[in-house]
Amino acid sequence: MFNWLKNRLPHNGLTAYITHSDCLLHNMGVGHPECPERLTAIRDQLMASQLFDFLQEVEAPLVTDQQLARIHPPRYVEYIESCAPAVGTFRIDPDTAMSAGTLPAALRAAGAVVKAVDLLCEGKAPNAFCAVRPPGHHAESDRSMGFCFFNNLAVGVAHALSYYKLERVAIIDFDVHHGNGTEQIFRDDPRVMMVSTFQHPFYPYCGDQPLGPNMHNVPLKAGSGGREFREAVENVWLPALHQFQPQMLFISAGFDAHREDDMGSLGLVEADYEWVTRQLMAVAAQHAEGRIVSVLEGGYDLSALARSVVAHLRVMSEG
């Protein structure tokens, strides 16, 4: 048994809600779907549902250079830093741009996932949700794309593997877009297993051919809904997860597969997010002492996003 498990402190039982006001500063321009209002809508819906009272809000720290370097080469981090404009925007690619507030937001977003790992491994929270932006699962080790600069979840996974010496970590991604960056970073790493669903063919136009034996990708055709999604979870995800016996679960929680989100063409609803969260909670309870770190990725219809996060967090907060 690892030393950090021997000295765990009793936590207060509340799901950690990790965020920072800096994450509101990132702005890619008027009308861009990945907007600051996404976090505001989530908070407002959590308060309206009275669920916010059952979460412990934690301030996201800035990620350190050492923590980033486990995933992103220093030259890449330096490039992102050099692109940060003092005013206006700098376009990394056609749909990914930096504003003056992007760099601090990105550093907080990655730092939030590291903080979540610390809280869970030190026994200070049973699980955690990182309400952060910009998202991260498209960011490869040395390439930003798809609204993403640093791969927030991957930075947290690497922290769990390196600092806490975990031997098996599972990543679950139900965003409408394939998490190509996460797959590229952890391909062939036997300590990491990734299961995912995503619309295909669709941006980023990959994932149907897994990059390694530790990747369990399930492409879904446009128009697929809850039935097809649940079949993928039951027939592919759950058997793979139980066989792997992960010591911690990380969720790339993108809610743009919702039927009201016009970013994609899948048909999930809040009940599907609630159901899959229950399945993952059961896996975590059996193999990982309940430890789940969920990280916000996509979700661009503000109402559907907020309602879906509430459904997700209601299950997580039940413990």
Task: Indicate which residues carry an active-site annotation.
Answer: 138
Helix (H, G, I), strand (E, B) or coil at 208: coil
Residue type, 219: P
- Strands 90-93, 96-98: pairing is antiparallel
How far from chain centre, in Å, is Cα 78?
A: 24
DSSP notation for 234-296: IIIIHHHHHHH--SEEEEEE--TTBTT-TTS--BB-HHHHHHHHHHHHHHHHHHSTT-EEEEE
How many angstroms separate the Cα of 106 from the Cα of each of 43, 48, 78? 19, 28, 13
What is the spatial distance between Cα 319 and Cα 316, in angstroms, rounded to a whole number? 6
